[in-house]
């Protein structure tokens, strides 16, 4: 029995099919199918029933899954404890949602490390669901996910089920950003209707599109007829400088909006009023890992004063009030 086989079982159970598991793990489907058959033959029992609706755990498979999760989590914890800080430096893997502030804050943390210390930092920008998968599989030590406040309870339950440690990082509302010479750039405030007269840069990731356009305003339904879809975060900024009078929705930036080209500015839009919260996650077995804890502490401290950030205490108070209101209904 191999650790990788156990990881495949966990991935299949979470995804509901071998095809989806292979996609999430960036593996070839035949490799996972073969590994599962070999595992079932070795242990002498069937872990999954193959049904038209996907893979379903057998009763024995459900017990096996619980033990497999414990073993995999223990192994990843052991690995993290002895690879995050080794004799010749630090190794850390971070996955995060695409953002204007996260890379900058991580860069500041790197600058404050001992100059003589070796560092191997893997930073991966992707969607919230993929960040969760990266941390769950052990491919990332720290994850930063983005959650609309009105869906916080749903994600919190998911994090608890996966045995994740969670720590709020920063809360904010999405804001429109544009070049400094945009016709709306010098306005004190703009409306969504006014913005939609100009080209919009939109992230090509389906999950990100859903987030950006359904969590700006409850009634928001984009009528923009000119939209440019881009996958890479860096390319979005280049296009924002290159396409005349374009704009995009963005989170706060670590040092104000980045300069370069024409210069980029953020503009107030009170119609963008739905609060969003970015949350740091890691496996509970790793929350006391020295390197992970130091990095999380630094990020939390630096993000308190981000331009446009809402105090986490205010967010927690809002969530408590919402919970009390629901319970009294």
* Closest CA relative to residue 281, chosen from 109, 121, 119, 95: 95
> From 3.40.50.300, 3.40.190.10, 3.40.50.720, 1.10.8.60, which CATH number describes the 92-167+277-328 domain?
3.40.190.10
For the chain, the structural domain boundaries read: 3-82, 92-167+277-328, 175-266
Q: With contact defined as beta carbons under 8 Å apart, do 148 and 276 qualify?
A: yes
Dihedral (Cα; 186, 195, 268, 237), 10-degree rounding? -80
Confidence band (pLDDT; 50, 70, 90) for 88? low
Res 93 pLDDT > 90: yes
Same topology for domains 92-167+277-328 and 175-266, yes or no?
Answer: yes
pTM: 0.68
Q: What are phi and psi of 261, to 5 degrees?
A: 65, -130
Q: Residues with Cβ < 8 Å from 96, sequence gap 6 or more?
A: 102, 123, 124, 125, 126, 131, 143, 144
- pLDDT cut 70: percent of the chain above it: 82
Q: What is the DSSP letter of 245?
A: T
Distance of CA 210 to the CA centre of its chain: 14
Q: With contact defined as beta carbons under 8 Å apart, do 119 and 255 qualify?
A: no
Residue-wise pLDDT tens digits, 198-208: 999 987 765 55
Res 85 pLDDT > 80: no
27-31, 176-180, 292-296: segment of lowest average pLDDT: 27-31
User: What is the CATH class of 3-82?
Assistant: mainly alpha
Beta-carbon neighbour count of residue 195 at 10 Å?
22
CATH superfamily of 175-266: Periplasmic binding protein-like II (3.40.190.10)
Between 324 and 36, the more confident residue is 36
Cα gap 48→38, rounded to integer Å? 13
């Amino acid at each position: 029995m191999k650790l990788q086989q156990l990881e495949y079982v966990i991935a299949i159970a979470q995804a509901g099919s071998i095809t989806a598991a292979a996609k999430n793990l960036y593996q070839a489907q035949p490799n996972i199918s073969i590994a599962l058959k070999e595992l079932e033959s070795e242990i002498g029992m069937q872990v999954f029933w193959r049904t038209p609706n996907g893979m379903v755990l057998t009763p024995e498979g459900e017990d096996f899954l619980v033990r497999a999760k414990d073993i995999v989590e223990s192994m990843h914890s052991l690995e993290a404890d002895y690879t995050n800080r080794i004799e010749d430096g630090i190794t850390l893997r971070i996955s995060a949602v695409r953002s204007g502030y996260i890379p900058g804050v991580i860069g500041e943390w790197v600058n404050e490390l001992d100059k003589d210390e070796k560092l191997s930092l893997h930073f991966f920008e992707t969607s919230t669901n993929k960040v969760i998968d990266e941390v769950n599989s052990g491919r990332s030590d720290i994850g930063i996910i983005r959650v609309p406040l009105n869906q916080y309870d749903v994600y919190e339950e998911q994090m608890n089920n996966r045995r994740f440690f969670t720590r709020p990082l920063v809360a904010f509302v999405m804001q429109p950003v544009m070049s400094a010479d945009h016709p709306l750039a010098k306005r004190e405030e703009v409306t969504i209707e006014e913005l939609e007269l100009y080209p919009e840069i939109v992230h090509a990731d389906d999950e990100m599109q859903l987030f950006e356009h359904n969590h700006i305003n409850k009634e928001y339904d984009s009528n923009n007829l000119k939209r440019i879809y881009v996958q890479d975060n860096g390319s979005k900024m280049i296009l924002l400088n290159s396409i005349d009078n374009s704009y995009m929705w963005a989170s706060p930036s670590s040092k104000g909006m980045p300069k370069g080209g024409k210069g980029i500015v953020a503009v107030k839009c009170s119609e963008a009023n739905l609060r969003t919260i970015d949350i740091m996650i890691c496996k509970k077995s790793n929350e006391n890992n020295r390197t992970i804890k130091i990095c999380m502490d630094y990020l939390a401290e630096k993000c308190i004063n981000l331009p446009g950030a809402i105090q986490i205490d205010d967010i927690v108070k809002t969530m408590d009030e919402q919970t009390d209101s629901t319970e009294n209904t």
